[in-house]
Structure 1
Amino acid sequence: MKKIAIRIGIIFLIFSVASCVTQKKSKNAFDTKKKEVYIDSMMNNALEKGFFPGAQIVVGSKDSIFLLKNYGYHNYLKTTQVKTDDVYDLASMSKVLGATLVAMHLVGEDEISLEDNLGEVVAMYKNTAIANLTLFELLTHTTGLKSGITFYQSLLSTSNGLPLLSNEKSDNYPDLFDTMYVNKNIVYDTIFLSFEPKDRYIQIYKNMWLNPEFYKGVHQKIAVANTNPRGNYLYSDLNLILVQQMLESKSGKKLDQLAKEIYSAVGISKIGYNPLKWTVEHNVVPTEIDNFFRKDTIKGYVHDEAAAIFGGISGNAGLFANAESISVICQMLLNKGKYQGKQILKISVVKKFTKSPLVKKGIYRGIGFDKRKPTAFFTKNDFGHTGYTGTFFFLNPDNERFLIILTNRVNPTRTNKLIYQDDFSSKIWKEINN
């Protein structure tokens, strides 16, 4: 009887442990069918309301893909459906998936330090007001640099002497650009801009080449752009442009080459700068009808004007990718820098960059990564980034899930901001984590 009682006790203990394990698994289980119904509803509603013409979405974990779907079309003509191999302009997601990833790799290899000063690394800034800004400050947007500079507008003037833009529509200002109307008598600066290839000129659009002498003025403007208190948070494209210069100066390689080395290491090819160099045009989703600078529907070239000035390769923008390729990077990050048994980024570096080092100052930003103050939509440990063109990706290291949404909400115009008014991406992210 005693032996029987012991056996019963052991069996009971085994079942109790198994029950606890099952409950733990069920707590973290992802109900794919239920989530897909919700996502389909959100996506179809967004398409009907005109948030964007089409989208790609991936939901996954550190070792699984739960959902990979395409919705809608390339534009509102509805002639080309979105496919998995199509690539989107990532806009500011490039800050993380390009420059920040490269910084993480170089920091891990001790090729650069977060404490390195800009002026010590990039000679042109040595005796300027921004010389002692650190890589850490640049990546956390605490430099005090203004949010951006419209470099490209210095390439434009008007033949009638009137301003480039007006608040009101008129015969002289017939076409809308963002919230302003464009002077119909735009003149391009022929000293710096050519509409045919020239030796040493940098291609900035399919029919535009820029004299590299123009960059001297660009760098001079950046050097005097520290117009806000240093140490406070102010998101700035200029920060990541400077990060790019630091990474390139330290490594002796260009940003696109450095990023490609990481992408190749994890086996992804549908991601990179200047997409027409590595994919076909019909697989590139168009962005905006630009009535101001490029006078064209932008397709195959970066939407962001600052990144365009730099030939499509910039720390602030320029990357194109499909959601499937980004999902591999997400899995690598959730696996603490490891992918398919290979350590791509050091564990300590991934942990450091995805935390909020300045949270005591009320700054929730990560190092390069966007992080949010805890809300109904985001937890304190979530990290990722968004992009102006209508892109979003976030990861939750606690439940090891991620969400990627790629859209071209700026097609045909950037004035369409419905996607933001409805907390569209945040609502889906919340559902993924419930």
Structure 2
Amino acid sequence: MKNIDVRIGLVFLIFLGINGYAQKKSKESFDTKRNEVYIDSMMNNALEKGFFPGAQIIVGSKDAVFITKNYGYHDYSKKQKVKSDDVFDLASMSKVLGGTIVTMRLVGEDKLHLKDKVGDLVPIYKNTPISDLTLFELLTHTSGLKASITFYQSLLSTPDGSPLLSNQKSDTYPDLFDTMYVNKNIVYDSKYLSFTPKENYIQIYKNMWINPEFYKTVYQQISVANVNPRGKYVYSDLNLILVQQMIEAKTGKKLDELARGIYTELGISKIGYNPLKWTSIENVMPTEVDNFFRKDTIKGYVHDEAAAIFGGVSGNAGLFANAQSISVICQMLLNNGKYQGKQILKANVVQEFTKSPLVKDGIYRGLGFDKRKPDEFFKENDFGHTGFTGTFFFMNPDNNRFLIILTNRVNPTRTNRLMYKDDFSAKIWRQINN
């Protein structure tokens, strides 16, 4: 018996040695100092030029973290430095880190199938023009749906019927929103919106509640939004809104509840929808100064107006997180769905979702995941996603590296697109893969 114990002990020590060696080799193959110098230079230049007020960056591999740093401040007043616990509005990264990951879990459990049709699962779309769209088409953005619908603008009007927005500044249109000026006489639709809590109304901002009857008009608009040829790639928020509806119809549970279950299994807590329910407002990065709909600096509530209409939980947007929580998800995905000995997602499902099934048609897209045509920045097998607020995460399964960049470049305005003109995130991604 004693000899058996000794042999088991030796095997365990060998395992620890191999595992430690693998981590050491992983770190050795990554020149941390050289890459950190490059990232610091890029970040300091970006802050100096006003690409964004603040940022978090993590670089790692499937089994190690090489660089984790915070830069800048919450906003340009420079009163509050970015901390590791601060959470950013992820915008469209939510499409992957929320709706897609939940879908992957359900596909792995044989509860959802890529051939499932919208109308078969969601009764309100039965016998509509979009009833036979499949989960596969939604996830690959080949459904033919238009890119987006500004649902919230139907809740706004002016007393004299004049336009909500103008491209010219004037006494009537004094405040800038994106590239347009906002009518100062905007009226909110009292049939659907309330500025005090009401029974059954859903909170969409700190002082705004919506009548759920409004969703009937939203779903009606989505049901006839198939304006593009089916099979053509058109990136659309509506696709992931429908994925969410399919998930919720099939499981009887809400997207945020299903996502939270996965995050809990991963041991991450700085990620989720409606961040004020699980962190303090001081730990939430501010986004845009919204002079149009919410008349406020958005902080603690989702920036995306469609996700706001749905109470902050939507397939297209709504997640907030810090880089550390996302790094765990990256490691899980690079380890074929496994994290710390637990199989979170089925390995074959991870592989299927992160490939490019339509590359023969010139469509570089995974299932939910963003992929790029190989170029000087991106390789064939890279996968990840970006977000409108200035967020980016990508993984390279060939060398098992990942990069997370979280910024709030839309503060104070979405017109600031400097980081995109400079290929900022792509340059850092290229650097760490060299």
Query: In the alignment, what sits opposite 1:326?
Result: 326
The CA RMSD over aligned residues, in Å, is 1.3
2-structure distance, mates of 1:77, 1:26: 40
Query: In the alignment, what sits opposite 1:92?
Result: 92
Say yes or no: does 1:55 pair with 2:55: yes
2-structure distance, mates of 1:386, 1:267: 24
- The residue type equivalent to 1:313 in the other structure is V
**Counterpart contact for 1:28–1:399, Cα < 8 Å:** no
**Counterpart contact for 2:27–2:66, Cα < 8 Å:** no
Query: In the alignment, what sits opposite 1:169?
Result: 169
Q: Look up the SS of the partner of 1:67 in the other structure.
A: strand
Correspondences of 1:359-378 after superposition (within 5 Å): 359-378=359-378
Say yes or no: does 1:213 pair with 2:213: yes
Tell me the TM-score normalised to structure 1 length.
0.94
Q: Look up the SS of the partner of 1:76 in the other structure.
A: coil
Query: In the alignment, what sits opposite 2:432?
Result: 432
**Counterpart contact for 2:90–2:317, Cα < 8 Å:** yes
1-structure distance, mates of 2:62, 2:409: 28
Deviations 1:305-328 (CA, angstroms, capped at 9, x unpaired): 000000000000000000000000
Say yes or no: does 1:125 pair with 2:142: no
Say yes or no: does 1:230 pair with 2:230: yes
2-structure distance, mates of 1:199, 1:28: 59
Decide which moves more: 164-173 or 381-390. Answer: 164-173
2-structure distance, mates of 1:364, 1:192: 40
Cα drift, residue 161 of structure 1: 2.4
Provide structure 1 residue ranges, at least 5 long, that are not aligned to the other structure: 1-20
Say yes or no: does 1:108 pair with 2:92: no
Query: In the alignment, what sits opposite 1:239?
Result: 239
Between Structure 1 and Structure 2, whose CA radius of gyration is higher?
1
1-structure distance, mates of 2:148, 2:266: 33
Deviations 1:86-127 (CA, angstroms, capped at 9, x unpaired): 000000000000000000000000001010000000000011
Correspondences of 1:251-330 after superposition (within 5 Å): 251-330=251-330
Query: In the alignment, what sits opposite 2:195?
Result: 195
Taking only the aligned residue pairs, the percentage that are identical comes to 77
- The residue type equivalent to 1:348 in the other structure is N
Where does structure 1 differ by over 6 angstroms across 4 or more consecutive aligned residues?
Answer: none
Cα drift, residue 27 of structure 1: 11
- The residue type equivalent to 1:259 in the other structure is A
**Counterpart contact for 1:54–1:74, Cα < 8 Å:** yes
1-structure distance, mates of 2:352, 2:413: 38
Cα drift, residue 414 of structure 1: 0.2
Query: In the alignment, what sits opposite 2:391?
Result: 391
Deviations 1:144-180 (CA, angstroms, capped at 9, x unpaired): 0000000000000012321000011111101111111
- The residue type equivalent to 2:145 in the other structure is L
Tell me the TM-score normalised to structure 2 length.
0.94
2-structure distance, mates of 1:288, 1:141: 27
- The residue type equivalent to 2:175 in the other structure is D
Aligned length, in residue pairs: 413
Deviations 1:313-366 (CA, angstroms, capped at 9, x unpaired): 000000000000000000000000000000000000000000000000000100
1-structure distance, mates of 2:215, 2:413: 28
Cα drift, residue 28 of structure 1: 7.3
Query: In the alignment, what sits opposite 1:44?
Result: 44
Query: In the alignment, what sits opposite 1:29?
Result: 29
Deviations 1:177-206 (CA, angstroms, capped at 9, x unpaired): 111110000100000000000000000000
1-structure distance, mates of 2:168, 2:401: 47
Query: In the alignment, what sits opposite 2:9?
Result: none
Query: In the alignment, what sits opposite 1:401?
Result: 401
2-structure distance, mates of 1:26, 1:75: 36
- The residue type equivalent to 1:142 in the other structure is T
The structure-2 alpha-carbon separation of the partners of 1:28 and 1:232, relative to structure 1 and needing over 3 Å to count, comes to farther
2-structure distance, mates of 1:167, 1:77: 29
- The residue type equivalent to 2:379 in the other structure is T
Query: In the alignment, what sits opposite 1:413?
Result: 413
2-structure distance, mates of 1:112, 1:272: 23
